[in-house]
Amino acid sequence: MPIYEYKSAEPESKDSSCYMCREPFELRRSLDRAQELKCPLCKNPLVKLVSKVSHTKKEGFSASEAKAAGFTLLNNLGDGVVEKE
């Protein structure tokens, strides 16, 4: 299930937000409920923030990405240990 990030539409207003939605928070929502823009706690309007890519983020960089980012790849880890590709 995708995770969406929401925040109160009026975080400055104490009547229109609560401690939860005053700051961005994440909610797991099925796609058909993603546009349901109400705080589950205080029922006030929310805005959907640009969804984070955390759930699709890869672990670490691939070798080609690391090289593209300017890293030099060292496969020799010292002590005679050579990392195998």
Site residues for Zn ion per CB under 5 A: 18, 20-21, 39, 41-42
Query: 6 vs 17, 56, 77, CA distance in Å?
Result: 12, 18, 44
Q: Which is nearer to Zn ion, 40 or 73 (CB)?
A: 40
Calpha distance 84→58 (Å, rounded): 21
Least distance (Å) between residue 55 CB and Zn ion: 23
Give the DSSP H/E element, type plus range, for residue 67: helix 63-68
The CB-of-50 to Zn ion minimum distance in angstroms stands at: 20
Q: How far is the CB of 7 from Zn ion (least distance, A)?
A: 10
